[in-house]
Amino acid sequence: MCLAIPARVINLEPADQALVELSGVRKRISLALVDDVAPGDYVIVHVGYALAKLNPSAAAATLEAMQSVNATPFAGTTAP
Amino acid sequence: MKYIDEFRDGAVARELSRAICREAGAERHYQFMEFCGGHTHAISRHGVTDLLPRNVRMVHGPGCPVCVLPIGRVDIAIQLALKEHVVLCTYGDVLRVPASGNLSLLKAKALGADIRMIYSAADALTLARENPDRQVVFFAIGFETTTPPTAVVLREARDLGVGNFSVLCNHVLTPAAIVNILESPEVRELGTVPLDGFVGPAHVSSIIGTEPYEFFASEYRKPVVIAGFEPLDVLQAILMLIRQVNDGRAEVENQFTRVVTREGNVAAQTLVSEVFELRRSFEWRGLGVVPYSALRIRDTFAAYDAERRWPLAYQQVRDNKACDCGAILRGLKHPTDCKLFGTVCTPETPMGSCMVSSEGACAAHYSYGRFRDSRELAS
Amino acid sequence: MSAVRRSYTRPLDIKRGRVDLSHGSGGRATAQLVEELFIRHLDNPWLRGHDDSACFEPPPGRLVMTTDSHVVTPLFFPGGDIGCLAVNGTINDVAMAGATPLYLAAGFILEEGFPLSELERIVASMAQAATIAKVPVIAGDTKVVEHGKGDGLYLTTTGVGVVPEGVEIGGARARVGDVAIVSGDVGDHGVAILAQREHLQFESEIRSDTAALHELVAVMLAACPDIRCLRDPTRGGLATTLNEIAQQSGVGMLLQESAIPVASMVSAACEFLGLDPLYSANEGKLVAVCPAGDAAQLLEAMRAHPLGAHAAEIGACIADDNHFVQMQTRLGGRRVVDWLSGEQLPRIC
């Protein structure tokens, strides 16, 4: 229900803002809800606010599991 | 687009589809509810249904804050705009929701109300600061994903003393709605929920974490898989649900590990609890009154609460008696089962919550899936 | 001999002046506005003739006439403005009949208080578009409404063209088996306009694709005289236009999502705002339906023209009593591409 997209942080800006980019489209958004964000990180953006940082290694692992779903049994990740 | 395109890949989708078809035992039926409107939209838009075997069916849940927004609350917003002459700001989704008296926010705008569409809650506060002589009200809707931005803006308003700004709060809570579905009277009649599991919301969970869902899994013995919004995420989550059902497990699993953690965004949760508190009850269109399912602004921020600034009386407005949304939202009926679907009730003239926004079950079926009805009749 | 002093009229203050009610009254002020602003830029023998109407000899063939009113907000946007949008839009409507556009007429409704500098920008832009397209604006009208009764400026343009003998193009002519082709990336204009409006500012610029397509159409007709339908997917986007054609022709359509060209920035902006590029307006693109056997040749001709460089075959007409426009998604599933319902607004949800 909540339209949010992963965007790359280009610059940090004053007052808890950041300039993010998705495929050439740049937008200024708020970092008020996340900490420790650095340029190059990907954040999930919803209504002009970053909600969370995206974990690139988890993304890679997920994709890999998808790609090899018929090769190996998927181990799954029960919430720890 | 990185982290988007690769999760829409057709070749990988076919692989996941093969695995689902193989593991969904032909002897049984699987019925899963995707709670969240974003998932409904993803399924419809990408045609995910075509990649699922006939014995795996997705039921569209109520997870769209616009769909479940009661008409009476929209009436309040229209009243503020037309009678109190405030500048009413809201997200695009709500503008066309039909309210009482043949009005909508968009129609009220045509009548002279100052209604502004905004992309971000921050824009509402900026408007207030730029127009100190006008009252600016932010008509806030949304689930737990959209609530923290409203909290940020309320805190800023208080810190900066933006006296002409206030919020009309309609934020609602996901877990309460899921419980409501699991406890509906039809369920008690049937003795069981006609659902084998849930695909849990992606971005709500980025805020609240996966922990709140553990209650459903254990109490109602239903598996929950939190899934990302891209179609490959949904397919993988469906596969994980099928495996749980086959194994007889009822656990909370996280498919969306690249964004969601068990504890979620604690800073956002803390901020939300500083600014908001639970309402004892709140009406959800299609589901009825649901206890402890919505938020209101705390006394410490009372000065920015539109409901305290103006005398606003909530009046319940019932939907058409023939509207089957209640049953559709709970997975007991299909949009085409409703007498009003496609005739009186269309996306242009929605009669109930399932048609009001493009993510409602009926709207999604009408806009994206209607062609299947004629195909199924023919086959 | 005393020289008679020629009457002196202070020139219009275009930099700082504003439209007022006298400019619309038909008197001296109107004449001055027409002379110093409109004719100065739209200069041609018809307008210089100062007559109430323009006369011309029609070339052989059937005449085509079209009219459009333009109420776009904002008036200025990346890639263009209401002026060139109007000129190109009307030229395109004429061209979609397979006709060669000949002349334009323009009616202005100006709001009292509208800055003359902006009016000049718009008129100059119209003039430039008309010159590039070689289609002059030969008649015009100006009215002024009271402050508060107009959105700055409303513009109506009417176009006249001529269809050569033997060319029969119309929305009802598509047949099962025909192929649908689009001339380039879709969705640019609608997203550019929406992004330009308040509170949706992107730092990067998405530009309107406004352009006059009549020369591209001429090239297309030369390569494929049997083109069945031509339409420019303006309001409601590609999806609406295809639904119109399907409905008119009594066919269904099956599109391939991966074949529909969309610029990556437009895609990204749509993701941000929750929009679908298929429903976003285009002002410099066209959709053509042609017999399947002619598609390759038509595409080659289009791609050789600058306005058709990204032309692509996107689908085919199929038998379907429901006249659905269906699409095979990138994922491999199917969905219906329905008519646009209401106005496409950004969503959070």
**Residue C107's pLDDT is what?**
96
Element (H, E) at A18: strand A17-22
Cβ-based contacts of A63 with chain B (< 8 Å)? 6-7, 12
Residue B24 DSSP class: S
Per 3-state DSSP, chain C is made up of helix, strand and coil in percentages (nearest 5) of 35, 20, 45
pTM here is 0.91
Q: Report the domain count for chain C.
A: 2
Chain segment B297-326, per-residue pLDDT in tens: 999 999 999 999 999 888 988 888 889 888
Greater confidence, B360 or C269?
Answer: C269
**Residue C73's pLDDT is what?**
83
Q: Is pLDDT above 60 for B374?
A: no
Q: Which two tokens stand for residue B360?
A: 């409602």
Tell whether B371 is within 8 A of chain A (Cβ).
no
What separation in angstroms does the CA of C165 have from each of B366, C57, C224, C234?
43, 18, 15, 27
In this structure, the answer to whether residues B170 and B197 fall within a common structural domain is no
Q: Report the domain count for chain B.
A: 3
Q: Which two tokens stand for residue C13?
A: 């203050």
Dihedral angle computed from the Cα positions of residues A40, A44, A45 and A51, in that order, rounded to the nearest 10 degrees: -110
In this structure, the answer to whether residues C203 and C89 fall within a common structural domain is no
Kindly state whether residue A74 falls inside one of the protein's structural domains.
no
A residues 58-77 lying closer than 8 A (beta carbon) to C = none
How far A5 CA sits from the closest chain C CA (Å)? 7
In this structure, the answer to whether residues B47 and B19 fall within a common structural domain is yes
Greater confidence, C24 or B31?
Answer: B31
Alpha helices (H) along chain C: 28-33, 40-42, 45-48, 82-95, 116-133, 188-196, 214-223, 237-249, 264-273, 295-303
A1 pLDDT band (50/70/90 cuts)? low
Q: Is pLDDT above 60 for B375?
A: no
Neighbours of B191 (CB within 10 A): 6
- Domain of residue A53, CATH code: 2.30.30.140
Chain segment A10-63, per-residue pLDDT in tens: 999 999 999 999 999 999 999 999 999 999 999 999 999 999 999 999 999 999
**Residue B185's pLDDT is what?**
72
Nearest CA in chain B to A32: B152
Pairing of strands B87-90, B114-117: parallel
Domain hosting residue A61, numbered range: 5-67
* d(C-alpha B260, C-alpha B257), whole Å: 5
**Residue A77's pLDDT is what?**
47
Q: Report the domain count for chain A.
A: 1
How far B191 CA sits from the closest chain C CA (Å)? 33
* d(C-alpha C72, C-alpha C83), whole Å: 10
Cβ-based contacts of B203 with chain A (< 8 Å)? 1-2, 4, 44, 46, 51
Cβ of B201 and A1 within 8 Å?
yes
In this structure, the answer to whether residues B236 and B279 fall within a common structural domain is no
- What interface predicted TM-score (ipTM) does this complex get? 0.90
Q: Is pLDDT above 50 for B41?
A: yes
Ranges in chain C, pLDDT < 70: 1-6, 198-200, 342
Is the distance from CB of B323 to CB of B216 less than 8 angstroms?
no
**Residue C294's pLDDT is what?**
97
B349 pLDDT band (50/70/90 cuts)? confident
Cβ of A22 and C271 within 8 Å?
yes
* d(C-alpha C273, C-alpha C58), whole Å: 48
Is the distance from CB of B148 to CB of B271 less than 8 angstroms?
yes
**Residue C257's pLDDT is what?**
97
* d(C-alpha B339, C-alpha B323), whole Å: 8
List of residues 6+ apart from C149 with CB closer than 8 A: C111
**Which of the residue ranges B154-163, B357-366, B367-376 would you say has the lowest mean pLDDT?**
B367-376
**Residue B37's pLDDT is what?**
87
Helical axes C188-196 vs C264-273, angle rounded to 10°? 50
How far C8 CA sits from the closest chain A CA (Å)? 53
In this structure, the answer to whether residues C207 and C133 fall within a common structural domain is no
Domain hosting residue B334, numbered range: 325-369
Question: Residue B342 is which amino acid?
Answer: G
In this structure, the answer to whether residues C51 and C90 fall within a common structural domain is yes
Report helix, strand or coil for A49: strand
Report helix, strand or coil for B171: strand
Kindly state whether residue C171 falls inside one of the protein's structural domains.
no
Chain segment C91-145, per-residue pLDDT in tens: 999 999 999 999 999 999 999 999 999 999 999 999 999 999 999 999 999 999 9
Kindly state whether residue B94 falls inside one of the protein's structural domains.
yes
In this structure, the answer to whether residues B144 and B279 fall within a common structural domain is yes
Tell whether C332 is within 8 A of chain B (Cβ).
yes
What is the pLDDT of chain A when averaged over all its residues?
A: 89
Chain segment B150-208, per-residue pLDDT in tens: 999 999 999 999 999 999 999 999 988 888 877 877 665 665 557 899 999 999 999 99
Nearest CA-CA partner of B267 in A49, C175, C319, C36: A49
Of B9, B142, B370, the CB nearest to C348: B142
How far C335 CA sits from the closest chain A CA (Å)? 20
Q: Residues of chain A with pLDDT > 90: what percent?
A: 82
